[in-house]
Chain A
Amino acid sequence: MATPTMDKAEAAGTPEPGFADTPYITATFRIRRFNPEVSDQSEWEDFEVLIDPKERVLDALHKIKWELDGTLTFRRSCAHGVCGSDAMRINGKNRLACKTLIKDLNPDKPITIEAIKGLTVLKDLVVDMDPFFQAYRDVMPFLITKGNEPTRERLQSAEDRERFDDTTKCILCAACTSSCPVFWNDGQYFGPAAIVNAHRFIFDSRDEGGEQRLEILNDKDGVWRCRTTFNCTDACPRGIEVTKAIQEVKRALITRRF
């Protein structure tokens, strides 16, 4: 994934490489609020926050929750892009709040934040993740082997290990699935994340469950629904080439070679 780095030229003159000390700015966060205990309508609410633009959107959400409005509700845990809790729609794009710096969002204009699409919103930025995890479970996301277990480790060459490296990085954040227009229209579609996790095993040289898994993905709600819009690849905070993985699964279905 492209990560913001500063130009060498820009960095010259600062005492250290990296972000120069920046003054605080006042940024407006326009957040789509929803709490069925209060109203069955959602509405946008603006919050002004004095903040260092090098900070994360998650830091801004915390500032709002901790200093302005304790009812603002979102999920988060690790705060550095590894747990997958805080995928949300920021300025119309799916991202992790903890991996998005305010300075990269054009903070002169209000920054919009809303829940990811295609999953039921339960409160503010919190959605119902159960259908997402159900699709994941449906693709048999575990190593399937036959015969007796070896006493030591199974051998795998470095190349065979590399073959599925990209899809092992998934943190199940749902940014891809909830950016997919097919999924928005039809929640029955497995969605990119489930296919990514099937890919992770289909292309693992140790796995012997490929046929079974491919049959599942051959289903009418399976891999053929993908229309290759690349939204998923753009959304993935782990830089996984999601669309490519889906294409590889499609190809494996046609050739039955993987």
Chain B
Amino acid sequence: MKIHKYDTVIVGAGGAGMRAAIESTKRSRTAVLTKLYPTRSHTGAAQGGMAAALANVEEDNWEWHTFDTIKGGDYLVDQDAAEILAKEAIDAVLDLEKMGLPFNRTPAGEIDQRRFGGHSRNHGEAPVRRACYAADRTGHMILQTLYQNCVKEGVEFFNEFYVLDQLLVEEDGVKKSAGVVAYELATGEIHVFQSKSVIYASGGTGKFFKVTSNAHTLTGDGQAACYRRGLPLEDMEFFQFHPTGIWRMGILLTEGARGEGGILRNKDGERFMEKYAPVMKDLASRDVVSRSIYTEIREGRGCGPEGDHVYLDLTHLPPEQLDAKLPDITEFARTYLGIEPYTDPIPIQPTAHYAMGGIPTNVQGEVLSDNTTVVPGLYAAGEVACVSVHGANRLGTNSLLDINVFGKRSGIAAAEYAHKTEYIELPENPAAMVEAQIERLRNSTGTERVATIRLELQECMDANVMVFRTEQTIKTAVEKIAELRERYLNVSIQDKGRRFNTDLLEAVELGNLLDLAEVMATSALARKESRGGHYREDYPNRDDVNFMRHTMAYREVADDGTESIRLDYKPVVQTRYQPMERKY
């Protein structure tokens, strides 16, 4: 075991982690631990754009953006946070441009903007062009630009280091962060990073679904590490299902395709979104469009021999426009489906996309251990966190924004905190839990296989807690997850080595997915209403009287070692926007 000492440790080198690192490296001795090489992070897969009311192409302002964000989140958004997001968006985009990001340009040479779902002028009047973009490679450009600037600033990376545990120490009755424990992929060695502050920026957890736009590596490691140490997870029942994933594969086709004029059609060629969202049509918010697609499929208007998908039709758009604005996604259709989007519609289905919930933080990125108490020295930003700017449903282009705004904020806050504080003594045997976990998996002679359990989990989640949920389906999921958790205790791996043991790490990641799936299903069962991405067929309406509140899920361990989940609730911060019915 090796011990390292840094002022600030950042877990993850996606957009949020690197945006934080650029700030904290200037202000404090910083180490970035990342399980992937930075440029492999899934921020690079983001396509469509980043929202900011620059008003470069038409009238717009941050107040409209704030409103859209709150309405899009079905009023579960903390309104003070949404206001910060929308206000600081403008500088966040300009910062990136100054760092070198090659945005598409208007004829006047300014940053170009396009339409995106749920973004409107003057509180829902009509779609507005608010998404700043670089073709359909906006995330790629953000990730590259941030990495380039990390190289420029000399940010210190520990690549292929997996953080597996969060060290918390109680001092004067307050839980504080003392550092993290990491596993080095190349050698199998365990490292303890003692630090004054820690920022989690470890991304999402979509891999507990089968049809998903998320990378294989998005397994919620950061959420799980904090949760296991008794910290709460907020609003985990809210997961976004993006309407347009490639049929069966889940690979994303950006909403920018509809922003450019793409249309969804059923097997009769009908533009069905006109029925469900007369004003915003194909650009209604994602939860609305995903439900509409499944309604079409259920009512027998799906396409293909099994009627299990619908079409994204781009054939009426000029090929030059597709080449210029949507080059990557049209190539995905050609490569993976053998379809020419110039002439043929693309089969799509909703795909599990984004975790609205996560580690609760305030607007400085400080992690909360309950509804109000801050954990000194612990921060989170990006998809791993829940500020909550996305509420029950995130608007497209608001996450690339979120990682930049709150990545920057937490980078500054964590470094400044590190300056004014001393190291906290590490607990005795700081690596004990990780060592035990690794040894157990390495030495297990059990009969269960990681891949089998993972697939059963994914199929169960797709079938029971996706776009439509009921008491019955969620209970089925809860029971199945409990069974899988039991069986997980009996998994064994084949690779017993120390060097690049990805067999072992997949087992560890599966453990994280199982814990988080359980939290998600349990939180969903208790929320007897429909709101944003959480749709209960048995409670189809939003219930502001009983459920205008955030879910807070805690892991409890009884004296005899049995684990359970305790649910609590946290009020939503409302400033100037009164909840209204959500219509598009």
21 contacts between A and B (CB under 8 A): A3-B335, A4-B334, A17-B344, A35-B499, A66-B451, A71-B494, A71-B497, A74-B502, A77-B40, A80-B251, A83-B41, A99-B335, A142-B99, A142-B100, A143-B148, A154-B97, A157-B105, A168-B134, A168-B137, A201-B100, A207-B100
CB-CB under 8 A from A123, the residues of chain B are: 499-500
Q: Is A18 an interface residue when CB atoms closer than 8 A count as contact?
A: yes
Q: Is B144 an interface residue when CB atoms closer than 8 A count as contact?
A: yes
Q: A37-B498, A66-B451, A204-B100 are in contact. Are A4 and B148 (CB under 8 A)?
A: no
CB-CB under 8 A from A78, the residues of chain B are: 40, 42, 44-45, 215-216
Interface of A toward B, CB cutoff 8 Å: 1, 3-6, 15-19, 35-38, 54, 65-67, 69-71, 73-85, 99, 101, 122-124, 126, 129, 133, 136-137, 140-143, 149-150, 152-158, 161, 164-165, 168-172, 201, 204, 206-207
Q: Is B561 an interface residue when CB atoms closer than 8 A count as contact?
A: no
CB-CB under 8 A from A16, the residues of chain B are: 303-304, 347
Q: Cβ of A172 and Cβ of B39 under 8 Å apart?
A: yes
Q: Cβ of B338 and Cβ of A153 under 8 Å apart?
A: no
B351 to chain A, nearest CB (A): 12
Q: Cβ of A85 and Cβ of B337 under 8 Å apart?
A: no
Pick from B94, B137, B339, B500: contact of A169, CB below 8 A.
B137
Q: Is B36 an interface residue when CB atoms closer than 8 A count as contact?
A: yes
CB-CB under 8 A from B335, the residues of chain A are: 3-4, 81, 99, 101
B131 to chain A, nearest CB (A): 15
CB-CB under 8 A from A54, the residues of chain B are: 338
CB-CB under 8 A from A73, the residues of chain B are: 495, 500-503
CB-CB under 8 A from A204, the residues of chain B are: 100, 102
Q: Cβ of A85 and Cβ of B503 under 8 Å apart?
A: no
CB-CB under 8 A from A35, the residues of chain B are: 497, 499
Interface hub of B338, B451, B499 (most chain A Cβ within 10 A): B338
B459 to chain A, nearest CB (A): 15
CB-CB under 8 A from A66, the residues of chain B are: 449-451
Q: Cβ of B44 and Cβ of A82 under 8 Å apart?
A: yes
Closest A residue to B40 using CB positions: A83
Knowing that A15-B305, A153-B110 are A-B contacts, what are 4 other residue pairs whose CB atoms are under 8 Å apart, sorted by A's residue number?
A54-B338, A67-B451, A73-B495, A161-B104
Cα(A204)–Cα(B37), bound, Å: 26
CB-CB under 8 A from B99, the residues of chain A are: 142-143
Q: Cβ of A122 and Cβ of B337 under 8 Å apart?
A: no
Q: Cβ of B151 and Cβ of A137 under 8 Å apart?
A: yes
Cα(A143)–Cα(B141), bound, Å: 13
A131 to chain B, nearest CB (A): 13
CB-CB under 8 A from A77, the residues of chain B are: 36, 40-42, 215-217
B138 to chain A, nearest CB (A): 12
Q: Cβ of A152 and Cβ of B94 under 8 Å apart?
A: yes
Q: Cβ of A37 and Cβ of B499 under 8 Å apart?
A: yes
Q: Cβ of B500 and Cβ of A83 under 8 Å apart?
A: no
Cα(A105)–Cα(B367), bound, Å: 50
Q: Is B558 an interface residue when CB atoms closer than 8 A count as contact?
A: no
Q: Cβ of A168 and Cβ of B102 under 8 Å apart?
A: yes
B211 to chain A, nearest CB (A): 13
Cα(A154)–Cα(B343), bound, Å: 38
Cα(A168)–Cα(B143), bound, Å: 12
Q: Cβ of A122 and Cβ of B186 under 8 Å apart?
A: yes
B100 to chain A, nearest CB (A): 3
CB-CB under 8 A from A155, the residues of chain B are: 108-110
CB-CB under 8 A from B45, the residues of chain A are: 78, 80, 82-83
Q: A66-B451, A79-B216, A122-B499 are in contact. Are A18 and B339 (CB under 8 A)?
A: yes
B217 to chain A, nearest CB (A): 5
Q: Is B332 an interface residue when CB atoms closer than 8 A count as contact?
A: yes
Pick from B109, B110, B141, B344: contact of A18, CB below 8 A.
B344
Q: Is B275 an interface residue when CB atoms closer than 8 A count as contact?
A: no
CB-CB under 8 A from A149, the residues of chain B are: 98
Q: Cβ of B344 and Cβ of A133 under 8 Å apart?
A: no
Q: Cβ of B305 and Cβ of A19 under 8 Å apart?
A: no
B54 to chain A, nearest CB (A): 8
Q: A16-B304, A142-B149 are in contact. Are A80 and B336 (CB under 8 A)?
A: yes
Q: Cβ of A171 and Cβ of B44 under 8 Å apart?
A: yes
Q: A83-B40, A85-B40 are in contact. Are A154 and B503 (CB under 8 A)?
A: no
Pick from A18, A69, A156, A201: contact of B337, CB below 8 A.
A18
Q: Is B568 an interface residue when CB atoms closer than 8 A count as contact?
A: no
Cα(A165)–Cα(B111), bound, Å: 15
CB-CB under 8 A from A69, the residues of chain B are: 494
Taking CB atoms and an 8 Å cut-off, the chain B residues in 208-255 that contact chain A are 215-217, 251
B442 to chain A, nearest CB (A): 12
Q: A16-B304, A17-B344 are in contact. Are A83 and B152 (CB under 8 A)?
A: no
CB-CB under 8 A from B495, the residues of chain A are: 70-71, 73
B104 to chain A, nearest CB (A): 7
Q: Is B515 an interface residue when CB atoms closer than 8 A count as contact?
A: no
CB-CB under 8 A from B36, the residues of chain A are: 77, 83, 85
CB-CB under 8 A from B149, the residues of chain A are: 142
A139 to chain B, nearest CB (A): 10
B348 to chain A, nearest CB (A): 12
Taking CB atoms and an 8 Å cut-off, the chain B residues in 480-521 that contact chain A are 493-495, 497-503
In order of increasing CB-CB distance, the 4 nearest A-B pairs are A143-B100, A70-B494, A66-B451, A155-B109
Cα(A99)–Cα(B514), bound, Å: 29
Q: Cβ of B499 and Cβ of A153 under 8 Å apart?
A: no
Closest A residue to B311 using CB positions: A16
Q: Is B107 an interface residue when CB atoms closer than 8 A count as contact?
A: yes
Cα(A66)–Cα(B503), bound, Å: 9
Interface hub of A18, A65, A149 (most chain B Cβ within 10 A): A18
Interface hub of B151, B251, B501 (most chain A Cβ within 10 A): B151
Pick from B105, B141, B215, B334: contact of A79, CB below 8 A.
B215
Cα(A124)–Cα(B497), bound, Å: 13
Pick from A83, A101, A137, A207: contact of B215, CB below 8 A.
A83
Taking CB atoms and an 8 Å cut-off, the chain B residues in 133-191 that contact chain A are 134, 137, 140-141, 144, 148-149, 151-152, 186
Closest B residue to A63 using CB positions: B451
A134 to chain B, nearest CB (A): 11
Closest B residue to A73 using CB positions: B500
Q: Cβ of A17 and Cβ of B339 under 8 Å apart?
A: yes
Cα(A35)–Cα(B148), bound, Å: 33
Q: Is B88 an interface residue when CB atoms closer than 8 A count as contact?
A: no
A223 to chain B, nearest CB (A): 20
CB-CB under 8 A from B343, the residues of chain A are: 17
Q: Cβ of B109 and Cβ of A156 under 8 Å apart?
A: yes
Interface hub of A37, A153, A154 (most chain B Cβ within 10 A): A153
Q: Cβ of B140 and Cβ of A171 under 8 Å apart?
A: yes
Q: Is B331 an interface residue when CB atoms closer than 8 A count as contact?
A: yes
Taking CB atoms and an 8 Å cut-off, the chain B residues in 429-466 that contact chain A are 449-451
Cα(A220)–Cα(B340), bound, Å: 45
Q: Cβ of A19 and Cβ of B338 under 8 Å apart?
A: yes
Closest B residue to A143 using CB positions: B100
CB-CB under 8 A from A101, the residues of chain B are: 335-336
Cα(A17)–Cα(B45), bound, Å: 26
Cα(A103)–Cα(B367), bound, Å: 49
Cα(A73)–Cα(B137), bound, Å: 29
Q: A73-B502, A83-B39 are in contact. Are A165 and B334 (CB under 8 A)?
A: no
A210 to chain B, nearest CB (A): 14
A239 to chain B, nearest CB (A): 8
Closest B residue to A36 using CB positions: B499
A70 to chain B, nearest CB (A): 3
Closest B residue to A82 using CB positions: B45
Closest B residue to A56 using CB positions: B336
